[in-house]
Amino acid sequence: MTTLLFTHPSSLRHVTPNGHPERVDRIKAVNQILANPHFNDLARREAPLGRDEDILRAHAYEHLERIRAMAPAEGMEYLDPDTVMSVGSLEAALRAVGAATAGVDAVFTGEADNVFCALRPPGHHAETRRAMGFCLFNQAAIAAHYARHKYDAERVAVVDFDVHHGNGTQDIFWSDANMFYGSTHQMPLYPGTGDVQETGVGNIFNAPLRAGDGGEQFREAMNSVILPALDVFAPDLVIVSAGFDAHHRDPLGSLQLTEEDFAWATLKLMEAAEVHCGGRLVSVLEGGYDLQGLAASVGIHVQALMRGNAGMVEDEEFEDDDIEDET
Protein backbone atom coordinates (compact mmCIF):
# COMPACT_ATOMS: atom_id res chain seq x y z
CA MET A 1 0.00 0.00 0.00
CA THR A 2 1.43 3.38 -1.04
CA THR A 3 0.66 6.43 1.06
CA LEU A 4 1.74 9.79 -0.35
CA LEU A 5 2.50 12.70 1.97
CA PHE A 6 2.26 16.30 0.78
CA THR A 7 4.03 19.06 2.70
CA HIS A 8 5.50 22.47 1.92
CA PRO A 9 7.75 24.93 3.79
CA SER A 10 5.22 27.70 3.14
CA SER A 11 3.13 26.28 6.01
CA LEU A 12 5.88 27.59 8.31
CA ARG A 13 5.49 31.09 6.87
CA HIS A 14 1.78 31.48 7.65
CA VAL A 15 2.44 33.41 10.86
CA THR A 16 -0.27 34.27 13.37
CA PRO A 17 -0.12 36.55 16.45
CA ASN A 18 1.41 35.37 19.71
CA GLY A 19 -1.11 33.27 21.59
CA HIS A 20 -3.13 32.34 18.51
CA PRO A 21 -3.95 28.60 18.59
CA GLU A 22 -3.47 28.08 14.82
CA ARG A 23 0.26 28.64 14.99
CA VAL A 24 3.42 27.63 13.20
CA ASP A 25 4.29 25.19 15.97
CA ARG A 26 1.43 22.95 14.82
CA ILE A 27 3.06 22.06 11.53
CA LYS A 28 6.47 21.77 13.21
CA ALA A 29 5.02 19.12 15.51
CA VAL A 30 3.46 17.29 12.56
CA ASN A 31 6.70 17.44 10.57
CA GLN A 32 8.64 16.15 13.58
CA ILE A 33 6.45 13.10 14.11
CA LEU A 34 6.47 12.27 10.40
CA ALA A 35 10.28 12.40 10.39
CA ASN A 36 10.25 9.37 12.72
CA PRO A 37 11.72 6.20 11.16
CA HIS A 38 8.27 4.61 11.38
CA PHE A 39 7.42 6.75 8.35
CA ASN A 40 10.43 5.99 6.17
CA ASP A 41 8.18 4.18 3.68
CA LEU A 42 6.04 7.25 3.05
CA ALA A 43 6.26 8.66 -0.45
CA ARG A 44 6.80 12.40 -0.08
CA ARG A 45 6.17 15.35 -2.37
CA GLU A 46 6.09 19.12 -2.06
CA ALA A 47 2.68 20.61 -2.67
CA PRO A 48 2.14 22.59 -5.88
CA LEU A 49 0.32 25.89 -5.90
CA GLY A 50 -3.44 25.65 -6.13
CA ARG A 51 -4.99 27.08 -9.28
CA ASP A 52 -7.63 29.75 -9.49
CA GLU A 53 -9.87 27.64 -11.71
CA ASP A 54 -9.93 24.88 -9.09
CA ILE A 55 -10.68 27.28 -6.24
CA LEU A 56 -13.53 28.85 -8.21
CA ARG A 57 -15.44 25.57 -8.44
CA ALA A 58 -16.04 25.86 -4.69
CA HIS A 59 -15.69 29.57 -3.94
CA ALA A 60 -17.12 32.75 -5.44
CA TYR A 61 -14.82 34.92 -7.53
CA GLU A 62 -15.32 37.75 -5.04
CA HIS A 63 -14.01 35.53 -2.25
CA LEU A 64 -10.83 34.68 -4.12
CA GLU A 65 -10.26 38.32 -5.01
CA ARG A 66 -10.80 39.42 -1.41
CA ILE A 67 -8.25 36.93 -0.11
CA ARG A 68 -5.72 38.15 -2.68
CA ALA A 69 -6.46 41.79 -1.89
CA MET A 70 -6.12 41.24 1.87
CA ALA A 71 -2.74 39.52 1.61
CA PRO A 72 -0.35 41.97 3.31
CA ALA A 73 3.02 43.07 1.98
CA GLU A 74 4.12 43.39 5.60
CA GLY A 75 2.64 42.81 9.02
CA MET A 76 -0.74 41.15 9.43
CA GLU A 77 -4.31 41.68 8.25
CA TYR A 78 -7.39 40.41 10.07
CA LEU A 79 -10.24 39.01 7.99
CA ASP A 80 -12.26 38.56 11.19
CA PRO A 81 -11.29 38.44 14.89
CA ASP A 82 -10.01 34.85 14.51
CA THR A 83 -8.72 34.73 10.95
CA VAL A 84 -5.48 36.50 10.13
CA MET A 85 -3.16 36.75 7.14
CA SER A 86 0.57 37.45 7.25
CA VAL A 87 3.00 37.92 4.39
CA GLY A 88 3.28 34.16 3.86
CA SER A 89 -0.37 33.25 4.29
CA LEU A 90 -1.54 33.45 0.69
CA GLU A 91 1.11 31.07 -0.60
CA ALA A 92 0.50 28.71 2.32
CA ALA A 93 -3.23 28.59 1.60
CA LEU A 94 -2.64 28.06 -2.12
CA ARG A 95 -0.20 25.23 -1.38
CA ALA A 96 -2.81 23.60 0.88
CA VAL A 97 -5.26 23.73 -2.04
CA GLY A 98 -2.63 22.42 -4.44
CA ALA A 99 -1.82 19.51 -2.14
CA ALA A 100 -5.47 18.47 -2.01
CA THR A 101 -5.97 18.56 -5.78
CA ALA A 102 -2.63 16.84 -6.42
CA GLY A 103 -3.72 14.22 -3.91
CA VAL A 104 -6.82 13.61 -6.00
CA ASP A 105 -4.58 13.21 -9.05
CA ALA A 106 -2.42 10.70 -7.18
CA VAL A 107 -5.24 8.38 -6.14
CA PHE A 108 -7.02 8.50 -9.50
CA THR A 109 -3.88 7.88 -11.55
CA GLY A 110 -2.65 5.07 -9.30
CA GLU A 111 0.42 6.91 -8.04
CA ALA A 112 -0.81 6.29 -4.49
CA ASP A 113 -3.50 4.32 -2.72
CA ASN A 114 -4.16 7.16 -0.30
CA VAL A 115 -2.82 10.59 0.57
CA PHE A 116 -2.26 12.77 3.62
CA CYS A 117 -1.87 16.53 3.16
CA ALA A 118 0.06 17.97 6.11
CA LEU A 119 -0.30 21.68 5.47
CA ARG A 120 -1.92 24.72 7.05
CA PRO A 121 -4.03 26.82 7.30
CA PRO A 122 -7.02 24.49 7.73
CA GLY A 123 -10.02 24.88 5.44
CA HIS A 124 -13.35 23.41 6.54
CA HIS A 125 -14.81 26.64 7.95
CA ALA A 126 -14.28 28.58 4.70
CA GLU A 127 -17.67 29.08 3.05
CA THR A 128 -18.47 29.84 -0.57
CA ARG A 129 -18.07 33.58 0.03
CA ARG A 130 -16.42 33.91 3.42
CA ALA A 131 -13.16 33.08 5.17
CA MET A 132 -13.56 32.32 8.87
CA GLY A 133 -12.39 30.15 11.73
CA PHE A 134 -8.69 30.29 10.74
CA CYS A 135 -9.62 29.09 7.21
CA LEU A 136 -9.06 30.90 3.90
CA PHE A 137 -9.93 28.30 1.23
CA ASN A 138 -11.83 25.05 1.73
CA GLN A 139 -9.37 22.54 0.34
CA ALA A 140 -11.57 19.50 1.02
CA ALA A 141 -14.49 20.96 -0.94
CA ILE A 142 -12.17 22.21 -3.68
CA ALA A 143 -10.67 18.73 -4.01
CA ALA A 144 -14.13 17.19 -4.23
CA HIS A 145 -15.17 19.47 -7.07
CA TYR A 146 -11.82 18.93 -8.77
CA ALA A 147 -12.35 15.15 -8.71
CA ARG A 148 -15.70 15.59 -10.40
CA HIS A 149 -14.29 17.96 -13.02
CA LYS A 150 -11.04 16.11 -13.81
CA TYR A 151 -11.98 12.46 -13.31
CA ASP A 152 -15.77 12.44 -13.78
CA ALA A 153 -16.27 11.30 -10.20
CA GLU A 154 -20.05 11.21 -9.90
CA ARG A 155 -20.22 11.10 -6.10
CA VAL A 156 -17.62 12.49 -3.70
CA ALA A 157 -17.80 12.23 0.08
CA VAL A 158 -16.15 14.39 2.73
CA VAL A 159 -16.12 12.95 6.25
CA ASP A 160 -15.06 15.36 9.00
CA PHE A 161 -14.13 14.41 12.58
CA ASP A 162 -12.81 17.80 13.70
CA VAL A 163 -14.24 18.94 17.05
CA HIS A 164 -15.76 21.94 15.25
CA HIS A 165 -18.45 21.53 12.64
CA GLY A 166 -17.28 22.19 9.07
CA ASN A 167 -19.84 24.85 8.24
CA GLY A 168 -17.91 25.79 5.13
CA THR A 169 -18.02 22.35 3.57
CA GLN A 170 -21.69 22.05 4.45
CA ASP A 171 -22.37 25.45 2.87
CA ILE A 172 -20.56 24.57 -0.36
CA PHE A 173 -22.25 21.15 -0.65
CA TRP A 174 -25.69 22.19 0.63
CA SER A 175 -27.71 21.86 -2.59
CA ASP A 176 -25.54 19.33 -4.45
CA ALA A 177 -26.95 15.82 -4.07
CA ASN A 178 -23.78 14.26 -5.51
CA MET A 179 -21.59 15.72 -2.77
CA PHE A 180 -21.77 14.07 0.66
CA TYR A 181 -20.82 15.74 3.92
CA GLY A 182 -20.76 13.75 7.16
CA SER A 183 -19.55 15.26 10.41
CA THR A 184 -19.02 14.33 14.04
CA HIS A 185 -18.38 17.41 16.18
CA GLN A 186 -19.02 18.92 19.59
CA MET A 187 -22.23 20.89 19.91
CA PRO A 188 -22.83 23.53 21.10
CA LEU A 189 -19.48 24.94 20.02
CA TYR A 190 -18.10 27.27 17.35
CA PRO A 191 -19.35 27.91 14.67
CA GLY A 192 -22.84 27.03 15.93
CA THR A 193 -23.91 24.91 12.95
CA GLY A 194 -24.16 21.14 12.64
CA ASP A 195 -27.57 20.23 14.01
CA VAL A 196 -29.03 16.88 12.93
CA GLN A 197 -31.85 18.75 11.19
CA GLU A 198 -29.38 20.41 8.79
CA THR A 199 -29.63 17.91 5.94
CA GLY A 200 -29.20 19.87 2.70
CA VAL A 201 -30.87 17.89 -0.06
CA GLY A 202 -30.45 14.64 1.82
CA ASN A 203 -26.66 14.76 1.42
CA ILE A 204 -25.66 16.26 4.79
CA PHE A 205 -25.29 13.99 7.82
CA ASN A 206 -24.49 15.64 11.14
CA ALA A 207 -23.86 13.56 14.27
CA PRO A 208 -23.20 16.08 17.05
CA LEU A 209 -21.57 15.02 20.30
CA ARG A 210 -21.82 16.62 23.73
CA ALA A 211 -19.02 18.09 25.81
CA GLY A 212 -17.38 15.25 27.71
CA ASP A 213 -18.24 12.57 25.17
CA GLY A 214 -15.44 10.14 24.39
CA GLY A 215 -14.60 7.23 22.16
CA GLU A 216 -17.72 5.22 22.90
CA GLN A 217 -20.06 8.01 21.83
CA PHE A 218 -17.86 8.93 18.86
CA ARG A 219 -17.81 5.37 17.55
CA GLU A 220 -21.56 5.06 18.04
CA ALA A 221 -22.11 8.27 16.03
CA MET A 222 -19.90 6.96 13.25
CA ASN A 223 -21.47 3.51 13.27
CA SER A 224 -25.09 4.63 13.46
CA VAL A 225 -25.07 7.79 11.31
CA ILE A 226 -21.99 8.52 9.23
CA LEU A 227 -20.83 5.11 8.01
CA PRO A 228 -24.28 3.74 7.02
CA ALA A 229 -25.04 6.93 5.11
CA LEU A 230 -21.65 6.74 3.42
CA ASP A 231 -22.34 3.16 2.32
CA VAL A 232 -25.69 4.15 0.80
CA PHE A 233 -24.05 7.10 -0.96
CA ALA A 234 -21.36 4.80 -2.46
CA PRO A 235 -18.68 7.43 -3.16
CA ASP A 236 -16.20 7.43 -6.02
CA LEU A 237 -13.73 9.17 -3.69
CA VAL A 238 -13.49 9.62 0.09
CA ILE A 239 -11.96 12.84 1.42
CA VAL A 240 -11.25 13.13 5.14
CA SER A 241 -11.24 16.47 6.94
CA ALA A 242 -8.82 15.22 9.56
CA GLY A 243 -9.11 17.52 12.53
CA PHE A 244 -7.54 16.25 15.74
CA ASP A 245 -8.93 18.82 18.19
CA ALA A 246 -11.46 16.28 19.48
CA HIS A 247 -8.43 14.82 21.32
CA HIS A 248 -8.82 14.87 25.09
CA ARG A 249 -5.79 17.18 25.49
CA ASP A 250 -7.03 19.85 23.10
CA PRO A 251 -7.71 23.33 24.56
CA LEU A 252 -10.39 24.33 22.04
CA GLY A 253 -12.87 21.51 22.65
CA SER A 254 -14.22 19.28 25.38
CA LEU A 255 -14.42 15.88 23.70
CA GLN A 256 -12.33 13.04 25.09
CA LEU A 257 -11.05 11.13 22.07
CA THR A 258 -7.73 9.31 22.04
CA GLU A 259 -5.29 8.47 19.29
CA GLU A 260 -6.84 5.01 19.10
CA ASP A 261 -10.22 6.56 18.28
CA PHE A 262 -8.71 8.41 15.34
CA ALA A 263 -6.99 5.22 14.16
CA TRP A 264 -10.31 3.35 14.37
CA ALA A 265 -12.10 6.05 12.34
CA THR A 266 -9.31 6.06 9.75
CA LEU A 267 -9.56 2.30 9.29
CA LYS A 268 -13.35 2.44 8.99
CA LEU A 269 -13.12 5.12 6.30
CA MET A 270 -10.44 3.12 4.49
CA GLU A 271 -12.76 0.10 4.54
CA ALA A 272 -15.57 2.18 3.03
CA ALA A 273 -13.22 3.53 0.37
CA GLU A 274 -12.06 0.00 -0.45
CA VAL A 275 -15.63 -1.23 -0.88
CA HIS A 276 -16.86 1.66 -3.00
CA CYS A 277 -13.95 3.27 -4.83
CA GLY A 278 -10.89 1.04 -4.95
CA GLY A 279 -9.47 2.50 -1.74
CA ARG A 280 -9.18 6.05 -3.08
CA LEU A 281 -8.87 8.33 -0.02
CA VAL A 282 -7.39 11.80 0.43
CA SER A 283 -6.96 13.16 3.96
CA VAL A 284 -6.36 16.85 4.66
CA LEU A 285 -5.23 18.30 7.98
CA GLU A 286 -7.77 20.50 9.73
CA GLY A 287 -7.62 21.37 13.45
CA GLY A 288 -5.63 20.12 16.43
CA TYR A 289 -4.12 22.65 18.83
CA ASP A 290 -2.39 20.68 21.57
CA LEU A 291 0.98 19.86 20.07
CA GLN A 292 1.48 16.51 21.76
CA GLY A 293 -2.07 15.37 21.04
CA LEU A 294 -1.84 16.59 17.46
CA ALA A 295 1.49 14.89 16.76
CA ALA A 296 0.46 11.56 18.25
CA SER A 297 -2.90 11.63 16.45
CA VAL A 298 -1.36 12.48 13.10
CA GLY A 299 1.17 9.72 13.63
CA ILE A 300 -1.40 7.00 14.21
CA HIS A 301 -3.66 8.36 11.44
CA VAL A 302 -0.83 8.15 8.91
CA GLN A 303 0.30 4.74 10.20
CA ALA A 304 -3.23 3.45 9.62
CA LEU A 305 -3.19 4.88 6.10
CA MET A 306 0.16 3.23 5.40
CA ARG A 307 -0.40 -0.17 6.91
CA GLY A 308 -4.11 -0.59 7.42
CA ASN A 309 -3.59 -1.23 11.13
CA ALA A 310 -3.73 0.82 14.31
CA GLY A 311 -0.11 0.44 15.35
CA MET A 312 1.01 3.30 17.60
CA VAL A 313 4.08 5.37 16.96
CA GLU A 314 6.43 4.83 19.89
CA ASP A 315 6.37 7.54 22.52
CA GLU A 316 7.20 10.91 21.02
CA GLU A 317 6.82 13.92 23.28
CA PHE A 318 6.08 17.34 21.81
CA GLU A 319 6.05 20.11 24.37
CA ASP A 320 5.17 23.72 23.51
CA ASP A 321 8.44 24.95 24.99
CA ASP A 322 10.48 22.64 22.76
CA ILE A 323 9.31 24.23 19.51
CA GLU A 324 9.77 27.92 18.88
CA ASP A 325 7.66 29.97 16.50
CA GLU A 326 9.29 30.74 13.17
CA THR A 327 8.49 34.33 12.25
**pLDDT over 90 at 242, yes or no:** yes
Task: Kindly state the helix (H) or strand (E) to which residue 52 belongs, with its residue range.
Answer: helix 52-55
Per-residue pLDDT reduced to its tens digit, 122-152: 999 999 999 999 999 999 999 999 999 999 9
Check whether the bond before 188 is cis (ω within 30° of 0): yes
**pLDDT over 50 at 326, yes or no:** no
Contact (CB, 8 A) for 132 and 169: no
Please give the full DSSP string across 115-130, using - where no structure is assigned. Answer: EEE--SS--TT--SS-
How large is the average pLDDT for residues 189-197? Answer: 98
Tell me how far apart the alpha carbons of residues 174 and 314 are, in angstroms, rounded to a whole number: 41
Task: Kindly state the helix (H) or strand (E) to which residue 209 belongs, with its residue range.
Answer: strand 204-209
How large is the average pLDDT for residues 314-327? Answer: 42
- Identify the three-state secondary structure at position 45: strand
Query: Which residues span the domain enclosing 101?
Result: 3-322
Contact (CB, 8 A) for 319 and 295: no
User: For residue 265, what are the CA distances in angstroms to 140, 159, 286?
Assistant: 18, 10, 15
How large is the average pLDDT for residues 57-76? Answer: 98
pLDDT band at 91 (very low <50, low <70, confident <90, very high): very high
Dihedral of CA 260/265/266/270: which sign? positive
Helix, strand, coil percent content, the chain, rounded in steps of 5: 40, 15, 45
Tell me how far apart the alpha carbons of residues 205 and 187 are, in angstroms, rounded to a whole number: 14
Percent with pLDDT over 70 in the chain: 94
Q: Are strands 84-86 and 114-117 parallel, antiparallel or unpaired?
A: unpaired
Asked whether residue 225 is assigned to any structural domain, the reply reads: yes
Q: 81: domain CATH number?
A: 3.40.800.20
Active site residue 125: yes
Catalytic member of 8, 14, 124, 125: 125
How confident is the model at residue 308, as a pLDDT? Answer: 87
**pLDDT over 80 at 321, yes or no:** no
Q: Within 10 Å of residue 62's Cβ, how many Cβ atoms?
A: 10
Q: Vertex 189, ends 183 and 191: CA angle to 5°?
A: 75
Contact (CB, 8 A) for 36 and 313: yes
Asked whether residue 253 is assigned to any structural domain, the reply reads: yes
Asked whether residue 327 is assigned to any structural domain, the reply reads: no
**pLDDT over 70 at 327, yes or no:** no
How confident is the model at residue 8, as a pLDDT? Answer: 98
How confident is the model at residue 310, as a pLDDT? Answer: 43
Residue 202 sits at φ, ψ, to 5 deg, of 85, 15
21: nearest Cα among 309, 306, 320, 223: 320
Total number of domains constituting the chain: 1
Asked whether residue 82 is assigned to any structural domain, the reply reads: yes
Tell me how far apart the alpha carbons of residues 316 and 32 are, in angstroms, rounded to a whole number: 9
* Mean pLDDT rounded to a whole number for the chain: 95
How confident is the model at residue 52, as a pLDDT? Answer: 98
Where is average pLDDT lowest: 71-75, 138-142, 318-322? Answer: 318-322
**Distance between start and end Cα atoms, the chain:** 37
Asked whether residue 143 is assigned to any structural domain, the reply reads: yes
Q: Which residue has the higher pLDDT, 7 or 1?
A: 7
Per-residue pLDDT reduced to its tens digit, 96-110: 999 999 999 999 999
Per-residue pLDDT reduced to its tens digit, 22-57: 999 999 999 999 999 999 999 999 999 999 999 999
pLDDT band at 1 (very low <50, low <70, confident <90, very high): confident
How confident is the model at residue 318, as a pLDDT? Answer: 39
How large is the average pLDDT for residues 166-192? Answer: 98
Per-residue pLDDT reduced to its tens digit, 272-293: 999 999 999 999 999 999 999 9
How large is the average pLDDT for residues 167-177? Answer: 98
Asked whether residue 281 is assigned to any structural domain, the reply reads: yes
How large is the average pLDDT for residues 221-226? Answer: 98
Dihedral of CA 28/249/240/96: which sign? negative
Tell me how far apart the alpha carbons of residues 31 and 119 are, in angstroms, rounded to a whole number: 10
Asked whether residue 216 is assigned to any structural domain, the reply reads: yes
How confident is the model at residue 309, as a pLDDT? Answer: 62
Asked whether residue 241 is assigned to any structural domain, the reply reads: yes
